[in-house]
Amino acid sequence: MHPLAKAVAPQGLLGFPSKLQIQTINRCNYTCPMCPYPEVAGGREGVKLDGALFHRLIDEVRAAKRRVKLCLMLQNEPLLDKRFVELLDEAHRAEDAISSISTVTNGSVLTPELLDRLLAYERFFLTVSVNATDAKRYQEIHGKDFWDRVHGLLTGWKGARQRVRLSFVLDAYSVEAGRAFQDYWGGMGYSVRFVPINTRVDSIPGNARIHEFDADYGHCHYPVDTLNMLADGSVILCCNDWKHQDRFGNLREQSIAEVWNSPRLTRLRRAAIDGTLREHAMCKGCDYPIRSSQRLLLEARVAGEALPTAAKTRDVVFHEGAVRTSPDAPPVPVLVWSADEEHGTLSALFPRSHPLPSEVWFQLRIGHSGAFNFGALEPVWCRGTVTSLSTDLDVGDAVPIRINLSRSAEEFQFFRWYCADWHSL
């Protein structure tokens, strides 16, 4: 084992990333107008990740006694790396260190045989950026005339289509095209994903802000849970830093834990949690944190529906939640109707079919009822005590409870995010 892989187990919730996003080759063969790659790639192409470094990173995760999500894509077309299946195979076999593997491809080099081979890995998740239902739009969006190839592949492939997600870059002007995309590809059995355009940290021309929500809305998970490594081993803050304005070390010479817990990344992580990340020069112009609110609004338009909200009963908004009665117990669903950041408490309905516990671990999922999705941030479980609660609500087969979260628990710091999402609805 490489000396750098012999890491001491990281301490605490935030002592190690929960996701690694890795660029294995710094090339892309498309010129999509909504993507900064054509503007910044000059002189950079030609670097491949050292296979020995990839192997060492997996060893480091294993030595740290952690299990991470792995994304094999970062500012590139990942399948241009002819070693992709080999790297996927190594990561998939490391089940004790890697919980899942994902990538996003433009599909230009996919074949039916390669699709079958990729999806033979049960913990692998594939997204193909298609963005069109006809050749004209495809050419406009991708800058390449590969429509016949990609369209022919996806319409002719007879494999497990529900495991392949097709994505569409959505803005306020492409709602009708988004509806057509959803009907066309969804009707063939593919999963559909909408990706809102956002202004990135480097303010590259052409990436206009399209959001219609308050800029203070939302949180950025990147400094909190994701380590982003380029093919040369250098670490950048996030996938939105296309100009690579700042580097935070290099994993060819440093360990994951060393880079992750460096003073600069630690300060940015603290700022992200405290809601002051926009004060940092690199992040002040980026609207990535509100992409989920964009998606929520735009997807509602695509579906021709009103903005989704949680179910309402007598003017009370209920949000789905979950508790555990011990750290390793299975989740028990609850309905939460209030969250008080100042006092660290929640009011919820607990199913009468379960014995009422005196202590629970509450899931601080960032987003309610599945309506929001803040990237990779894993749910955290914060310990708290339970007391019975009187209410005039019609609670049916449930028990009203108050959950008093432990302010001394490390996970409590994310209650701020939970409450911010709560009050934004």
Residues 104-155 pLDDT 10s: 999 999 999 999 999 999 999 999 999 999 999 999 999 899 999 999 999 9
pLDDT surpassing 80 at residue 425:
no
Is 360:323 a contact under the CB 8 Å cutoff?
yes
Element (H, E) at 350: strand 345-351
Nearest residue to 241 (alpha-carbon basis) of 198, 282, 195: 282
pTM: 0.84
394-421 per-position pLDDT tens digit: 667 888 999 999 999 989 988 888 887 6
Cα–Cα dist 267/33, whole Å: 34
Average pLDDT of the residues in 320-334:
91
Stronger pLDDT, 367 or 155, i.e. the higher one: 155
Residue 407 confidence (pLDDT): 94
Residue 32 confidence (pLDDT): 87
| CA 312 to chain CA centroid, nearest Å | 28
Contacts of residue 74, defined as CB under 8 A and 6 or more positions apart, other chains included, come to 21, 22, 23, 228, 229, 230, 239
Stronger pLDDT, 175 or 93, i.e. the higher one: 93
Residue 258 confidence (pLDDT): 96
pLDDT class of 289 with cuts at 50, 70, 90:
low
Is 105:73 a contact under the CB 8 Å cutoff?
yes
Element (H, E) at 332: strand 332-340
17-61 per-position pLDDT tens digit: 999 999 999 999 998 888 888 777 766 678 999 999 999 999 999
Residue 293 confidence (pLDDT): 55
For the chain, the average pLDDT equals 83
Average pLDDT of the residues in 238-256:
91
Residue 71 DSSP symbol: E
185-220 per-position pLDDT tens digit: 999 999 998 887 654 444 434 333 333 333 444 577
